[in-house]
Amino acid sequence: MTGQPHNIADGLAQVNAEIANACREVKRDPSSVTLIAVSKTFSGDEIEPALAAGQRVFGENRVQESKGKWPALREKYPGIELHLIGPLQSNKAKEAVALFDAIHSVDRASLCEALAKEIEKAGKSPQLFVEINTGEEPQKAGIIPAEADAFLIACREQYGLKIDGLMCIPPHDDAPAPHFALTAKIAKRNGLALLSMGMSADYQTAIEFGATHVRVGSAIFGSRTLSV
Ligand X SMILES: *Cc1c(COP(=O)(O)O)cnc(C)c1O
Q: Rounded to the nearest whole angstrom, what is the least distance from the CB of residue 204 to ligand X in the complex?
A: 12
How far is it, in rounded angstroms, from Cα 92 to Cα 145?
A: 26
- Write out the H or E segment, with its range, that includes residue 207: helix 203-208
Using CB under 6 A, list all residues that contact ligand X.
38, 40, 61, 85-86, 169, 199-200, 215-219
Contact 23, 211 (CB under 8 A): no
HSE, CB side, 13 Å, CA atoms: give it for residue 91. Answer: 1
Nearer of residues 99 and 117 to ligand X, judged by Cβ: 99
Residue 83 CB coordination number (10 Å): 27
CB atoms within 10 A of CB 98: 14
Of residues 186 and 216, the one with the C-beta less far from ligand X: 216
Residue among 17 and 153 whose Cβ is closer to ligand X: 17
Q: Are 73 and 49 in contact (CB under 8 A)?
A: no
Query: Least separation, in Å, of the C-beta of 147 and ligand X?
Result: 20
CB of 1 to ligand X, least distance (A): 14
By beta-carbon proximity to ligand X, the closer residue of 191 and 227 is 227
Question: Smallest distance from the beta carbon of 158 to ligand X, in angstroms?
Answer: 26
Buried b (16+ CB within 10 A) or exposed e, 161-198: bebbbbbbbbeeeeebeebbebbbebbeebebebbbbb
Residue 41 CB, nearest approach to ligand X (Å): 8
Nearest residue (CB) to ligand X, 37 versus 114 = 37
